[in-house]
């Protein structure tokens, strides 16, 4: 089995048939993590516990009793999910050294199915950001910066690699980089404004944002309670469906999960798209959208049309206010959610002893970075009595208008919306940091944010390489709780575009089977 | 389901008032100037007034985080400017949306104890504790006033 195999079709089969052992798979991934350390994708690598899990999995396979498809599969988890016994930092000084006493529900589900938890991945501090550049452990580097495809297209400079590297996007950049560089088969991210889909697009992997209420948030350190969802990052759509199957479902510990029964599903191989209606929202032709991505989007629409699907232009008139609305609601909820960090029960605690208030203030002063503090202060401003109606309630009203836009469009007979995921391919780090975090977030989240506002499922599918040799993805947005339809269409599209595999030196060294066939990333 | 937003209860009193829709506020509504209606680059209009030092100080007290420097205050001003674009939208007769799952009933489970008794684990992460107590410095002591504090805002 090669490191780039799809779960369902190849790795799981290989494990079951004994062609590869879980411990061997784990070791290879751990070795690759070491040799790709420069990517800074991982904050914590749980080597010992991972090997132990791999050994236990091996025992189960020997007895012929694997727990399921995920048994023995190495996975990574974004560092804002609680993991028992493993440090959970949210890339912040506030939680450095914090060892969770419990597993987030989604982590527990993965472990219950035998998955091997390799480690916790890097992110923007408290998931605030769109570059994975603002965490205390430093920025994450996009593996594609070191790919043959990117290097071939870059202008040779004297110190090219060091200054040329591009960002992963964020905030789940570490998870996206981990999946993209083959150090794990799947990773968990979180998605509040696009934090799973954005890095997925920049790193050339599949990024799924499930419907709000489908997957438990228990144990996911919250940013915006009404919009957060755990995100799934994999190398192909089929794998995303497998992960979804193991994670979705009601959780009594999270009262915002719906009570409907969830049936895991296998994705059919769609051959006939003539009954499908694809909507192209014209407002997603946002200012700043690169001509390259516009062309790709257009080409994708034609792809569906030529295959017999009905492709219509639709309108989501309040799209451009989605980012403003998000800005207010996010900062308001952040102001509330970050109040728990006071140094008393967990996390960083200042040495200040004069009074509770001064200890809290000093702790928070020392623990949070500028971005976090900025959002807390803005949020508190919008929640002041004199501003409450003007900003917070107003934003809630605009939110309803945005959600209603989608309802109207889906009611008119459209099944799936097709939009770009990002405005351009990944920017070089040196360029990205020229603007501050909030400005970047407002620019980069524009195409992904509205789905969070309305709670809809959305997925990024890697589509093609830009002329700089970097991945570009397109986004599909579906109806609430219709993940099966969304993923089925995404899988069809993935098959049509045949996105190229990343060619990385490090991976070549560790897994000689990888480059023998220049196949696409989808192995279904 | 109606999500419990702590912020709402603490700040707006016993319940959310339902005013007639007005783009109110003493600053008036910038209906004519500034907005280019271009949300793509975070279109900003001209800032009509800076936030007063009293409010900034009040925010630092409420949030228990500091602005730290003029950049921090600038950040707030830009955030407000950006948020002001909301007032372009006509929301007459529109109800605020708390949650996308508002059409469903909140799950209520039986009032039975199913877990707990994890005092030891919960105390592990606290830096200062005595027996089964978290230890805090003395309470009911308000932060010093602006003039007495060492804060960037003093110089404003």
Q: Which of B124, B129, B127 is nearest to A99 (CA)?
A: B124
Q: pLDDT tens digits, residue range A38-66?
A: 999 999 999 999 999 999 999 999 999 99
Q: pLDDT tens digits, residue range A278-289?
A: 999 999 999 999
Structure tokens at A139: 């920025």
Partners of A391 on chain B (C-beta within 8 Å) are 83, 86
CATH no., domain A10-155+162-271+458-505: 3.90.1300.10
- Supply the pLDDT for residue A174: 97
Q: pLDDT tens digits, residue range A382-408?
A: 999 999 999 999 999 999 999 999 999
The gap between the terminal CA atoms of chain A, to the nearest Å, is 15
Cross-strand pairs, A477: A417, A458
DSSP state of A102: S
Cis amide prior to B146 (ω within 30 degrees)? no
Residue with the two structure tokens 């697009």: A201
**Mean model confidence pLDDT for chain B:** 73
The residues of A annotated as belonging to the active site are 78, 171, 195
Cross-strand pairs, B27: none
- Residue A374 scores a pLDDT above 90: yes
- Supply the pLDDT for residue B39: 39
Nearest beta carbon to residue B142 from set A323, A335, A357:
A357
Rounded to a whole number of angstroms, the distance from the CA of B120 to the nearest CA of chain A is: 10
The percent of chain B in helix, strand and coil, each rounded to the nearest 5, is 30, 5, 65
Nearest beta carbon to residue A256 from set B101, B122, B128:
B101
- The answer to whether the Cβ–Cβ distance between A365 and B94 falls below 8 Å is no
Tell me which of B7, B145, B153 to substitute to probe the interface with A (most A C-beta atoms closer than 10 Å): B7
Contacts of A141 (CB under 8 A, 6+ apart): A38, A39, A40, A41, A165, A166, A167, A168, A177, A429
Shortest CA distance from B103: residue in chain A: A258
Tell me which of A380, A443, A450 to substitute to probe the interface with B (most B C-beta atoms closer than 10 Å): A380
Q: How far apart are CA A281 and CA B70, in angstroms?
A: 41
Partners of B63 on chain A (C-beta within 8 Å) are 335, 376-377, 379-380
Rounded to a whole number of angstroms, the distance from the CA of A477 to the nearest CA of chain B is: 16
- Supply the pLDDT for residue B147: 73
- The answer to whether the Cβ–Cβ distance between B64 and A349 falls below 8 Å is no
Residue A520 confidence class, pLDDT cut points 50, 70, 90: very low
Contacts of A47 (CB under 8 A, 6+ apart): A30
Q: Which of B103, B35, B86, B30 is nearest to A401 (CA)?
A: B86
Question: If you average pLDDT over residues B101-121, what whole number do you get?
Answer: 90
- The answer to whether the Cβ–Cβ distance between B122 and A345 falls below 8 Å is yes
Q: pLDDT tens digits, residue range B121-130?
A: 999 999 999 9
ipTM above 0.95, yes or no: no
Q: How far apart are CA A212 and CA A216, in angstroms?
A: 9
Least confident of A305-319, A509-523, B46-60: A509-523
- Supply the pLDDT for residue B12: 33
- Supply the pLDDT for residue B10: 30
- Residue A71 scores a pLDDT above 70: yes
Tell me which of A256, A330, A348, A354 to substitute to probe the interface with B (most B C-beta atoms closer than 10 Å): A256
- Supply the pLDDT for residue A518: 27
CA distances from residue A133 to A18, A368, A427 in whole angstroms, order as listed? 41, 15, 12
Q: pLDDT tens digits, residue range A95-121?
A: 999 999 999 999 999 999 999 999 999
User: How many Å is the maximal CA-CA distance in chain B?
Assistant: 64
- The answer to whether the Cβ–Cβ distance between B76 and A331 falls below 8 Å is no
- Residue B106 scores a pLDDT above 50: yes
Q: How far apart are CA A419 and CA A447, in angstroms?
A: 8
- Supply the pLDDT for residue B46: 55
Residue A154 confidence class, pLDDT cut points 50, 70, 90: confident
- Supply the pLDDT for residue A438: 77
- Residue B29 scores a pLDDT above 90: no
- Residue B47 scores a pLDDT above 70: no
**Mean model confidence pLDDT for chain A:** 92
* Whether the Cβ atoms of residue A171 and residue A472 lie closer than 8 Å to each other: no
Residue B23 confidence class, pLDDT cut points 50, 70, 90: very low
Rounded to a whole number of angstroms, the distance from the CA of A516 to the nearest CA of chain B is: 44
Shortest CA distance from B81: residue in chain A: A324
- The answer to whether the Cβ–Cβ distance between A400 and B95 falls below 8 Å is yes
Q: pLDDT tens digits, residue range A184-221?
A: 999 999 999 999 999 999 999 999 999 999 999 999 99
Question: If you average pLDDT over residues A119-145, what whole number do you get?
Answer: 95
- The answer to whether the Cβ–Cβ distance between A377 and B63 falls below 8 Å is yes
Number of CB atoms found within 10 A of residue B52's CB: 10
DSSP state string for A423-463: SSSPPBHHHHTTS-HHHHHHHHGGGTHHHHHHT--EEEEEE
Any idea where the domains of chain A sit in the sequence?
10-155+162-271+458-505
Higher pLDDT, A437 or A209: A209
Rounded to a whole number of angstroms, the distance from the CA of B80 to the nearest CA of chain A is: 8
- Supply the pLDDT for residue B31: 35
Q: Which residues of A337-359 are buried (b: 16+ CB within 10 A; e: fewer)?
A: bbbebbbbebbbbbebeebbbbb
Higher pLDDT, B138 or B144: B138
- The answer to whether the Cβ–Cβ distance between B72 and A360 falls below 8 Å is no
């Amino acid at each position: 089995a090669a490191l780039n195999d799809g779960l369902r079709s190849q790795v799981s089969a290989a494990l079951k048939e004994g062609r590869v052992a879980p411990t061997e798979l784990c070791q290879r991934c751990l070795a690759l993590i070491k040799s790709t350390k420069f990517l800074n994708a991982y904050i914590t690598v749980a080597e010992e516990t991972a090997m132990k899990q791999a050994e236990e999995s091996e025992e189960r396979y020997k007895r012929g009793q694997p727990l399921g498809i995920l048994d023995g599969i190495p996975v990574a988890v974004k560092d804002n999910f609680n993991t028992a016994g493993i440090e959970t930092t949210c890339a912040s000084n506030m939680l450095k050294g914090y060892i969770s006493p419990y597993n987030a529900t989604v982590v527990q589900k993965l472990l219950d199915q035998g998955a091997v938890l390799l480690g916790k991945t890097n992110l923007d501090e408290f998931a605030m950001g769109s570059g994975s550049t603002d965490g205390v452990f430093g920025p994450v580097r996009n593996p594609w910066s070191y790919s043959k495809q990117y290097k071939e297209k870059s202008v040779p400079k004297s110190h090219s690699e060091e200054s040329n590297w591009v960002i992963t996007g964020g905030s789940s950049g570490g998870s996206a980089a981990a999946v993209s560089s083959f150090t794990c088969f799947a990773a968990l991210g979180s998605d509040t404004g696009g934090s799973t889909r954005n890095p997925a697009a920049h790193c050339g992997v599949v990024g799924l944002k499930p419907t709000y209420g489908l997957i438990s948030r228990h144990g996911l350190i919250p940013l915006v309670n009404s919009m957060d969802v755990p995100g799934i990052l994999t190398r192909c759509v089929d794998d995303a469906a497998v992960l979804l199957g193991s994670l979705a479902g009601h959780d009594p510990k999270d009262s915002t999960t719906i009570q409907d029964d969830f049936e895991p599903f296998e994705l059919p191989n769609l051959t006939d798209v003539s009954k499908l209606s694809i909507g192209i929202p014209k407002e997603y032709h946002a200012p700043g959208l690169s001509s390259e991505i516009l062309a790709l989007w257009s080409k994708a629409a034609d792809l569906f049309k030529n295959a017999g699907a009905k492709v219509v232009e639709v309108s989501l008139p309040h799209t451009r206010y989605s980012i403003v609305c998000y800005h207010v609601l996010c900062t308001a909820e952040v102001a509330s959610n970050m109040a728990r960090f006071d140094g008393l029960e967990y996390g960083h605690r200042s040495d200040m002893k004069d009074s509770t208030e001064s200890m809290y203030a000093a702790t928070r002063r020392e623990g949070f970075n500028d971005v976090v503090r900025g959002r807390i202060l803005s949020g508190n401003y919008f929640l002041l009595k004199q501003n409450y109606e003007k900003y917070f309630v107003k934003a809630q009203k605009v939110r309803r208008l945005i959600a209603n836009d989608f309802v109207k469009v889906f009611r008119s007979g459209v099944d799936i919306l097709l939009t770009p995921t990002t405005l351009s391919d990944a920017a070089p780090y040196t360029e990205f940091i020229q603007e501050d975090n909030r400005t970047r977030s407002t620019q980069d989240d524009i195409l992904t944010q509205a789905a969070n506002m309305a709670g809809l499922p959305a997925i990024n599918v890697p589509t093609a390489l830009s002329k700089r040799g970097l991945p570009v993805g397109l986004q599909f947005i579906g109806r609430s709780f219709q993940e099966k339809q969304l993923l089925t269409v995404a899988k069809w599209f993935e098959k049509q575009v045949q996105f190229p595999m990343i060619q990385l030196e490090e991976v070549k060294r560790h897994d000689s089977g990888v480059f023998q066939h220049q196949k696409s990333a989808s192995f279904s | 389901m109606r999500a419990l937003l702590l912020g709402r209860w603490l700040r707006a009193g016993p319940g959310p008032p339902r005013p007639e829709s007005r783009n109110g506020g003493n600053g008036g509504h910038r209906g004519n100037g500034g907005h280019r209606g271009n949300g793509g680059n975070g279109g900003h209009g001209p800032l009509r007034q800076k936030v007063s030092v009293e409010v900034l100080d009040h925010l630092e007290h409420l949030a228990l985080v500091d602005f730290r420097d003029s950049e921090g205050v600038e950040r707030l001003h830009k955030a407000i400017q950006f948020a002001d674009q909301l007032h372009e939208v006509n929301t007459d007769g529109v109800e605020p949306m708390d949650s996308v799952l508002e059409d469903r009933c909140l799950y209520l489970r039986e009032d039975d104890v199913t877990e707990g008794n994890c005092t030891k684990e919960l105390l592990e992460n606290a830096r200062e504790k005595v027996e089964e107590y978290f230890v805090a410095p003395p309470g009911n002591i308000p932060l010093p006033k602006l003039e007495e504090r060492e804060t960037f805002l003093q110089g404003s």
